[in-house]
Amino acid sequence: MSRVYNFSAGPAVLPEEVLKEAADEMMDYRGCGMSVMEMSHRSKVYDDIIKDAEKDLRDLLNIPDNYKVLFLQGGASQQFAAIPMNLMKNKKAGYIVTGQWAKKAFAEAKMYGEAVELASSADKTFSYIPDCSNLAITDDMDYVYICENNTIYGTKYKTLPNTKGKDLVSDVSSCFLSEPMDVTKYGIVYGGVQKNIGPAGMVIDIIREDLITDDVLPGTPTMLKFKTQADNDSLYNTPPCYNIYICGKVFKWLKNMGGLEVMKQRNEEKAAVLYNFLDESKLFKGTVVKEDRSLMNVPFVTGDADLDAKFVAESKAAGLENLKGHRTVGGMRASIYNAMPKAGVEKLVEFMADFEKKNLK
Ligand SMILES: *Cc1c(COP(=O)(O)O)cnc(C)c1O
């Protein structure tokens, strides 16, 4: 067996301990004589798996009792529609557009009501987070929406927007559990799990209870109604059973690592290795403003598309996989999620230094 350092933005690297445990339990989950993939989601054994997963997530994020945790199908993108359908009582909401994912959510919301662009960083190819201290938020807006960590562009909000009392809805797909967060500052926090937690196809929603009502837009599908899912503890239909099981293992892994304060420190140290190199490099440069740099996704370029392509090819040959930037940005991107060890980032920087020596004219 040989594993590479996988810098993919998602689906992405998972902790090896988790993969090994899952492999060990594949044929016979703790004496059941079957895999978790094969068992009823209504069984006692499975009930323990999903309840444990929720409890561990609540512990990690200190989720208050008045917030529901939902494990749902459809990935993060399904929520682009579910959120307006459940929350747009006045059919109006404010969106802050900081990249492709926020843009997609904004476009989707327009199908259900008046979505207003409160701020955008499109003018500089989303290389910064706009000033959100005094946005034109009106009283009739149902919520304010952000994408907290911009996976493609590599920016992250360091302070949350002033929502002027409106509920904040945040897509945290690519920074989920990378550091502690104060859930009480949000109406909804949600994220697809394939970036920093588990296998693709599932989204976790953390929703303040008063936002879960029967008063949804006409035509909202039963499955997309938060109330359906909340009333049934994410078991209205067959949930993504195996995903929940793997996510549960990752939550336990995070607890064993010491929790989210420890992860934040580790992630800061890891990101610093790469950012410090980029700041000194004569060949490579980071693409976003320093203050708004993400700890999870680090885009960088040489400024020469041919050289970028050469870098991607040679890094792959050296066991550093998936460093090609998003097709809309070009260049390179290193995603350095929780499960990426510091040694992986150090190896990347070593490789970059060597590449620079050979290719700097
Ligand atoms: C990947 C990603 C999504 C889309 O997730 P899907 O599960 O593919 O729908 C949405 N938002 C952000 C911030 C992402 O990084």
192 lines ligand 1 (CB under 6 A): yes
How far does the centroid of ligand 1 lie from the alpha carbon of residue 101, in Å? 7
Q: Kind of pairing, strands 202-208 and 188-192?
A: antiparallel
Question: Cα–Cα distance between 214 and 211 in angstroms, integer?
Answer: 10
* Ligand 1 pocket test, candidate residues 71, 77, 152, most atoms within 8 A of CB: 77
Identify the pLDDT of residue 361.
80
Identify the pLDDT of residue 62.
98
Domains and CATH numbers, the chain: 17-257 (3.40.640.10), 259-359 (3.90.1150.10)
98 lines ligand 1 (CB under 6 A): no
Question: Cα–Cα distance between 317 and 298 in angstroms, integer?
Answer: 20
What secondary structure does DSSP assign to 154-189, as a single string?
TEE-SS----TTPPEEEE-TTTTTSS---GGG-SEE
How far does the centroid of ligand 1 lie from the alpha carbon of residue 134, in Å? 28
Q: Three-state SS for 201?
A: coil
**Unique residue bearing structure tokens 């050979």:** 358
The parts of the chain modelled with pLDDT lower than 70 are none
> Tokens standing for 307?
């050289």
User: Half-sphere exposure of 240 toward its Cβ, with a 13 Å CA cutoff?
Assistant: 22
> Tokens standing for 360?
């700097």
Q: What is the CA radius of gyration of the chain?
A: 21
> Tokens standing for 301?
């370029």
What does each C-alpha distance from 224 to 88, 106, 188 come to in angstroms? 14, 18, 15
Largest CA distance in the chain: 65
User: Half-sphere exposure of 95 toward its Cβ, with a 13 Å CA cutoff?
Assistant: 26
Identify the pLDDT of residue 1.
75
User: Half-sphere exposure of 35 toward its Cβ, with a 13 Å CA cutoff?
Assistant: 12
Q: Which atom of ligand 1 is nearest to the CA of 172?
A: 13
Q: Which atom of ligand 1 is nearest to the CA of 192?
A: 7
8-state DSSP, 150: E
Question: Cα–Cα distance between 247 and 197 in angstroms, integer?
Answer: 6
147 lines ligand 1 (CB under 6 A): yes
How far does the centroid of ligand 1 lie from the alpha carbon of residue 44, in Å? 32
Question: Cα–Cα distance between 108 and 183 in angstroms, integer?
Answer: 25
* Ligand 1 pocket test, candidate residues 174, 176, 294, 296, most atoms within 8 A of CB: 174
Q: Nearest 5°: phi and psi at 53?
A: -60, -45
Short-list 224, 227, 228, 246, CA closest to 73: 224
Question: Cα–Cα distance between 237 and 153 in angstroms, integer?
Answer: 36
174 lines ligand 1 (CB under 6 A): yes
Question: Cα–Cα distance between 81 and 97 in angstroms, integer?
Answer: 16
